[in-house]
Amino acid sequence: MITEQVIIIGAGPCGLAAAIELQAAGLNPLIIEKRNIVHSISQYPTYMHFFSTPELLEIGGIPFTTANDKPSRLEALNYYRNVALRRKVRIQAYETVTAIIRREEGGFLLESCDRYGENKTYEASDIIIATGYFDHPNELGIPGEQLDKVTHFFRESHPYTGMNVAIIGGSNSAIDAALELERAGAFVTVVYRGEDYSPSIKSWVRPGFESLVSKGRIGMRFASRVIEIKAHSVTVENAEGTEELPNDFVLALTGFHPDRAFLTSIGVTIEEEGYPTFNDETMETNIPGIYLAGVVASRREANEIFIETGRFHGRKIVSHLMQCAQRPFD
């Protein structure tokens, strides 16, 4: 049995920020992370740049410097990795929390399993869940979705040169992927359920994309959805009927969601709107002693901008812990 005061689940930017806030309050929290530090960012497209300026992504009072207006994925990985090292944040990487059990006498038991199959048990007074969302894509629920040619992640365009690629979705991630793929010589069709371009598309990107569509270099299907994926084609449906498109790969860029099953398994309730129950002022859930930090508490579509606000969740949590008379913080 390993005893800790506070355990944080997830070593993303918001989990790291919470750990640093706890350190400033005199604690030495442990982070348990099932993959690597800031795993979600490591899964972003290789050449992606953030929408946010670097100062809005800073944590722990450590400046985020870049020569560009918007930092790149590589710069973000370097920044958060170095923050964790400089602040000496305790991180158990490649270890998965499998269960959280409330103790009658107070506090919690955590069960975990590392990459070698070794099981561990921890006890902690308080738990912060900062698990993000990138492991849980919004699935389509259509035939063929489980084929190897289908992915919910886009990393880079090179593997798709000369291929027929269908992109499902109309957000910035879909538009950016389509542009990269077209430049790499892929034959791209974007299938989007909206009747017009999404208003969230970056203003400096949309004109170039619309130009490629008007020239026929990118196919665009509005008010449409893919209803079946086959080995060599996809079936697209709209108000006028269906069409069969030749296809080699499908990028289902339909977004992600928090691990609601894990939250409900430990007693955290889910509101009708689909997000977990928590107090906006303290980040505490309906289970006393269990807190949320980061995108897991998002009430809207999760994306990188949530780092801007989620990085302050740890501050709210620490404030609440220090106000509780039963907590030995003051």
pLDDT digits (tens, 9 = 90+) for 294-321: 988 876 655 544 788 889 999 999 999 9
Whole-angstrom distance, CA of residue 294 vs CA of residue 129: 8
Give me 143's structure tokens: 């035939």
Whole-angstrom distance, CA of residue 274 vs CA of residue 283: 17
Check if 2-135+256-323 and 150-252 are the same fold.
yes
Rounded mean pLDDT for each run of 10 residues along the chain, 330 residues in total: 94 96 95 95 88 90 89 95 96 96 92 96 96 82 96 94 97 93 97 94 92 97 97 96 97 85 90 86 95 84 66 93 60
Q: What is the 3-state secondary structure (H, E, C) of the chain?
A: CEEEEEEEECCCHHHHHHHHHHHHCCCCCEEECCCCCCHHHHCCCCCCECCCCHHHHCCCCCCCCCCCCCCEHHHHHHHHHHHHHHCCCEEECCEEEEEEEECCCCCEEEEEEECCCCEEEEEEEEEEECCCCCCCECCCCCCCCCCCCEECCCCCCHHHCCCEEEEECCCHHHHHHHHHHHHCCCEEEEECCCCCCCCCCCCCCHHHHHHHHHCCCEEEECCCEEEEECCCEEEEEECCEEEEEECCEEEECCCECCCHHHHHHCCCCECCCCCECECCCCCEECCCCEEECHHHHCCCCCCCCHHHHHCCHHHHHHHHHHHCCCCCCC
Give Cα separations from 248 to 45, 101, 152, 164, 165 (angstroms): 20, 46, 15, 5, 6
Can you say whether the dihedral through the CA atoms of 319, 323, 325, 330 is positive or negative? Answer: positive
Output the pLDDT for position 138. 86
Residue 213 makes CB contacts below 8 A (sequence gap 6+) with 219, 220
Nearest 5°: phi and psi at 193? -75, -20
Whole-angstrom distance, CA of residue 54 vs CA of residue 308: 10
pTM: 0.85
Q: At what angle do helices 73-86 and 13-24 cross, to 10 degrees?
A: 20
Q: Which CATH number does 2-135+256-323 carry?
A: 3.50.50.60
Whole-angstrom distance, CA of residue 258 vs CA of residue 240: 35
Q: For 259-290, what is each residue's pLDDT tens digit? A: 788 899 999 998 877 788 999 999 999 999 99
Residue 200 makes CB contacts below 8 A (sequence gap 6+) with 171, 172
Output the pLDDT for position 123. 96
Are the C-beta atoms of residues 159 and 136 closer than 8 Å to each other?
A: no
Closest alpha carbon to 80 in 114, 113, 50: 50
Geometric angle at alpha carbon 309, from 54 and 110, rounded to 5°: 110
Output the pLDDT for position 328. 46
Output the pLDDT for position 70. 87
Instruction: Indicate the residue type of 221.
Output: R
Output the pLDDT for position 330. 39
Provide the residue ranges of all domains of the chain, joining segments of one domain with +.
Answer: 2-135+256-323, 150-252
Q: Which CATH superfamily is domain 150-252 in?
A: FAD/NAD(P)-binding domain (3.50.50.60)
Q: What residues pair up with 91 in beta bridges, in sequence order?
A: 31
Whole-angstrom distance, CA of residue 126 vs CA of residue 228: 46
Are the C-beta atoms of residues 233 and 150 closer than 8 Å to each other?
A: no
